[in-house]
Structure 1
Amino acid sequence: MQDPIALFERARAGDRRALARLLSLLEDDGEVASRLSAHLFPYTGNAYVIGITGPPGSGKSTLVNALARAYRERGETVGIVAVDPSSPFTGGALLGDRIRMQDVAGDPGVFIRSMATRGRLGGLAHATREVVRALDAVGFQRIMVETVGAGQVEVDIAQAADTVIVVQAPGLGDDIQAIKAGILEIADILVVNKADREGAAATLHILRSMLSLGQPAVVRHHGRAMTIQHVEPSRAGWSPPILQTVATTGKGIPELVEAIERHRIYLEESGEGEARRRRRIAEELAALARERLWARVVHQVGRARLDGLVEQLIRREIDLHTAVERLLKEL
């Protein structure tokens, strides 16, 4: 195996093949990935991370492509992490985002990494944050993370990005999709993409109503009208702007870039950016500790003992709390 530290140094010097191999090592997990992650961690913390989420068909990949072009015109380097859903049968994924990002795929200042969720919920792959940190460490200034687009489960992005963009589009079905639990609440910026289509004005009105205090919104759900009471703004001190874009033509993209910059300045001046970074690190620390502790439980207690406890639980001979206490006593 090639020395991972040497790969990192080559990647920092601009070797894209070395960077691709580096990311593969991080995705594979294990001891090498842990050692590599520890080495590159001091080099992180400089990139600005933008999360893009929303339902399938809203044009997220095309929007990412347009944003990448805009940042390249400003002379900034761009890393893109595109997470695609895995097949429930093979574990594979189409990973078709490169096809939809042909405009920037050949740009030496842009690096695109497609990742499969491999069954993980929350909209991100297992190693997404490690990949984002690696892109940060090698010097990319803007990193965009596009989630799988599976609906309201995609709230992990709120813990991984500085600015979260929630993308909606007209004609995707019930209007209530826009307000499903977790999605509207994580938005720093709301975008109605494909704004040249019929129904864009209605989608815009619904989102505005949702963000206006005291103004209920009437939406359609399974063909019936429903009145939804107001939703509080998702971030204290920041009211998410609602923008209209047509990503295929670039319409509205300059305004979106400007809104992202305004949010970045807000995070810096309000102290919210530092608070988010602290929450993010604490969350990752807790998640990694849980993962490592469970691995230790499996190793020390043994699979046979775990299977035996499961059988007792199935037969209702013990409860979950008792099972956990027995496991902890055996460590």
Structure 2
Amino acid sequence: MNIEERLLNGDKRACARLITMLENNDEEAIEIIKKLYKHTGGAYVIGITGPPGSGKSTLTDKLTKELRKKGKKVGIIAIDPTSPFSGGAILGDRIRMNDLALDDGVFMRSMGTRGSLGGMSKATWGAAKVLDIYGVDYIFIETVGVGQSEVDIVKTADTVLMVMVPNLGDDIQAIKAGIMEIADVFAINKADLSGADKTQIEIEMNLDLNESKDYRPPVVKVSASKNENIDKLIEKLMAHRNYLEETEELIERRKRNTKLEIVKLVEEELMGLIMDKALEENLLDNLTQEIILKGLDPYTAKDKILEIIK
């Protein structure tokens, strides 16, 4: 069997191979996704975000195990910062979820951000499609946790879970409007620590400021390390999914995400074409030198580079 047939038959190795090809910008991987795209749409994508140290990996591990009890097949994409030396992911989420690797119903992959500023890997969209074709019921995308730029997760996920912890210090800073607005469900992890109630009140107060929304995100206190309230958190995630499906908001979200993906793909392709040509002709270096010598300004330099595609 070729890689396409193996993927459709739920072959884990074929899934891993195709994601690696995507990370390496292999055109063959894109062609395979084009052929199999009609098999996507079955997986529900949950984005897990929040500040570093909030226990996102441990919580992802416990949520996955809870879904496995229900007989669901789960894919996990853990986005890590990229090592500047090897280009590999450096946090090693797989170490924290080691026992899941032995479960045939779970596919897990750590991916480096590779310079992407939004806390998301460039290949995340593609990897989610591969897992969808592979046949998972749920996909967890766990992001780096780098603050405001985490809003990138909205462009991929159906439901966004924001993980908070008590005693972050500047609590209000941690739940700024930009971050607050992207969350569909809030989990206060490490809820056995003092300050959990205070954090919940602060989140609820922030939510009270936005009464125009039809849907109010629930706030659930959990302790991932002690496996407490994970079932309740799953209930809230499923309730949000039901809300999206009943109101047909899920269709609208996926339309919006697809539009953003098309724009992003076009941007990347055009940028690649322009910069390859500019570097080939030493245009970038020459223009930079002119700007330094004040013989040119950056705006005119931009116009000169864009002339390449006119």
Shorter-chain TM-score bucket reads over 0.9
Alpha-carbon distance in 2 for matches of 1:61, 1:95 = 10
2:132 aligned with 1:149, yes or no? no
Percent sequence identity over matched residues?
Answer: 47
Question: Residues 249-301 of structure 1: CA distance to partner in whole angstroms, max 9, x if unpaired?
Answer: 22111111111111111111222211111111111111111111122223444
2:48 aligned with 1:52, yes or no? yes
State the one-letter code of the partner of 2:229. G
Q: Spell out the pairing of 1:169-318 with structure 2 (5 A cutoff).
A: 169-180=165-176, 182-213=178-209, 232=210, 236-301=213-278, 302-318=280-296
**Cα offset, 1:132, TM superposition:** 0.6
Question: Residues 48-99 of structure 1: CA distance to partner in whole angstroms, max 9, x if unpaired?
Answer: 0000001111111111111111111111100000111123454333342122
State the one-letter code of the partner of 1:193. N
Alpha-carbon distance in 1 for matches of 2:239, 2:297 = 52
Partner of 2:8: 12
RMSD between aligned alpha carbons? 1.9
**Cα offset, 1:303, TM superposition:** 4.3
Structure 1: gaps (5+ residues): 214-231
Partner of 1:217: none
Alpha-carbon distance in 1 for matches of 2:166, 2:25 = 40
Q: Which moved more, 1:167-176 or 1:82-91?
A: 82-91
Partner of 1:162: 158
TM-score normalised by structure 2 residue count? 0.93
2:92 aligned with 1:114, yes or no? no
Contact 1:25 1:33 in 2 (8 A): yes
Structure 2: gaps (5+ residues): none
Contact 2:52 2:145 in 1 (8 A): yes
Which structure has more relative contact order (CA 8 Å, sep 6+)? It is 2
**Cα offset, 1:192, TM superposition:** 0.3
Partner of 1:100: 96
TM-score normalised by structure 1 residue count? 0.87
Contact 1:152 1:181 in 2 (8 A): no
Contact 1:54 1:149 in 2 (8 A): yes
Alpha-carbon distance in 1 for matches of 2:305, 2:53 = 46
Question: Residues 152-194 of structure 1: CA distance to partner in whole angstroms, max 9, x if unpaired?
Answer: 2211101110000010011333213432352111101111011
Partner of 1:324: 302
Equivalent pairs counted in the alignment come to 308
Moved over 6 A (4+): none
Partner of 1:128: 124
Alpha-carbon distance in 2 for matches of 1:84, 1:267 = 29
Q: Secondary structure at the match of 1:182?
A: helix
Contact 2:10 2:135 in 1 (8 A): no
Where is the helix percentage greater, Structure 1 or Structure 2?
2
